[in-house]
Amino acid sequence: MNAMETPRPYSLLCELTFRCPLQCPYCSNPVDFGRYAEELTSAEWERVLTEAAALGVVQAHFSGGEPLVRPDLPQIIRHARQLGMYTNLSTGGTLFTESIGAQLRAAGLDSLQGSFQDADAENSDRLAGGAPSFDKKVRAAELARRLGFSLTLNVVLHRQNLGHLEAIIALAERLGAERLELANSQYNGWALKNRAALLPSRAQIEAAARTAEAARLRLAGRMQILYVLPDYFAPFPKACLNGWGRVFLTVAADGTVLPCQTAREIRGLKFENARRRPLAEIWFESEAFQKFRGTGWLPEPCQSCPRKEQDFGGCRCQAFLLTGEATATDPVCSLAPRHHLIADALAEAEAGAAGQLIYRNAIESRRFEREIDALTFPPV
């Protein structure tokens, strides 16, 4: 695929920081996030956004870690808005104040998304780890509504909270959310480390889908409900981010430019940094972005599969993490040679939860860093 045919990205995820007061055990940050602590400056983020706009990005998503730990967040969002981008902020909410909320409104923030871990303080605080956070989140959501934000609640679903879905929906209603995003955990990174404790049974998934659908109909016109099915329970993989290097890119806290936020789990694949090379060059020319772009690289059974333009062989990170080979068919596909890896995990989940939660924090991150450094990975 040459540069003439290469699509331009619509969407940029800015992971402004890996610092976070929460310790959610399914966090999408790298398991060894501690080593990527040298954050881009305000001026560097503004340059990244300017380059992204020229490249075709029209939507900027700001997340972390907790993006509110950065005092320059309103300034960065204002810059994105001045470039004509749609801006979306994902926050845990615990650091949200009247003053920061007013600054974000003034900066032109289009969409605010607040995470909840569960429907009540006891369960939510247990899942989020660290200091109690639930009550602060509720106050932040109320404040956001008062300030006139269009509020989305994000809840990651898994074995330990799927049974509380009715109460989670009631919480979103009570807080006056305009949208409720119910995304089942994706088992990469921290969630994969905690899979035995988080992966639900099929009965749980089916009951939750019915609950979500009933609420979607009941609340139509008042609150929009998005329910994202987990790929482990589907016959075919997801079109991860609509294809590698096709519509989406991530710039991580340290400036590393990634096709998706978990891509650096694919050890052996070299990613470039926005500090050292223009974003457009990285998008069009870097090895990492070209590696899995399009369908030419696909192995069998994907190459001769009629679905290959729909799902592009699934998630590269998942393929690598589960099989050790980034070029393998995503094992969640029922046609994948190594689908048994998923079937085995599901069978264990049917037998019940196992294992303690490993919380996403600096100590565990250091431990994973040492584990990873003790291994060698061949180039992809």
Partner 1 sequence: MNDLPDTARPRLATKVRLKWDEVRQKPLLLFPEGLLVLNPTAHEIVGLCDGERTVAEIVKMLGEKFQSDTIDRDVKDLLAKLIGKSFVVIAE
Judge contact between 207 and 157, C-beta under 8 A. no
Nearer to partner 1, 177 or 258 (CB): 177
Rounded Cα–Cα distance for residues 141 and 115 (Å)? 10
Nearer to partner 1, 109 or 205 (CB): 109
Q: Which of positions 124-183 make contact with partner 1 (CB under 8 A)?
A: 150, 152, 178-179, 181
Output the smallest distance, CB 177 to partner 1, in A: 11
Output the smallest distance, CB 32 to partner 1, in A: 29
Which of 6, 8, 145, 173: binder of partner 1 (CB under 8 A)? 8
Q: Which of positions 72-91 make contact with partner 1 (CB under 8 A)?
A: 84, 86, 88
Which of 226, 234, 343, 347: binder of partner 1 (CB under 8 A)? 226
Q: How many residues bind partner 1 (CB under 8 A)?
A: 23
Which of 56, 132, 299, 301: binder of partner 1 (CB under 8 A)? 56
Nearer to partner 1, 109 or 127 (CB): 109
Spatial CB neighbours of 119, under 8 Å, sequence gap ≥ 6: 161, 164, 167, 168, 170, 171
Q: Looking at 48-56, 69-77, 279-287, 289-297, which segment touches partner 1 (CB under 8 A)?
A: 48-56
Q: Is 293 helix (H, G, I), strand (E, B) or coil?
A: coil
Nearer to partner 1, 37 or 220 (CB): 220
Rounded Cα–Cα distance for residues 275 and 257 (Å)? 10
Helices (H), the chain: 42-55, 73-82, 98-107, 121-128, 134-146, 165-174, 189-193, 195-198, 202-218, 279-285, 287-291, 308-311, 316-323, 340-351, 362-373
Output the smallest distance, CB 61 to partner 1, in A: 9
Residue 184 near partner 1 by CB under 8 A = no
Q: Which of positions 304-363 make contact with partner 1 (CB under 8 A)?
A: none
Tokens of 134: 């639930």
Residue 51 near partner 1 by CB under 8 A = no
Rounded Cα–Cα distance for residues 264 and 273 (Å)? 12
Residue 13 near partner 1 by CB under 8 A = no
Which of 12, 16, 40, 55: binder of partner 1 (CB under 8 A)? 55
> Helix-strand-coil percent breakdown of the chain, rounded to 5?
40, 15, 45
Judge contact between 178 and 152, C-beta under 8 A. yes
Closest CA to 97 of 56, 46, 136: 136
Nearer to partner 1, 124 or 152 (CB): 152
Rounded Cα–Cα distance for residues 198 and 161 (Å)? 9
Which residues contact partner 1 by CB under 8 A? 8, 10-11, 54-56, 58-59, 84, 86, 88, 110-111, 113, 150, 152, 178-179, 181, 220-221, 224, 226
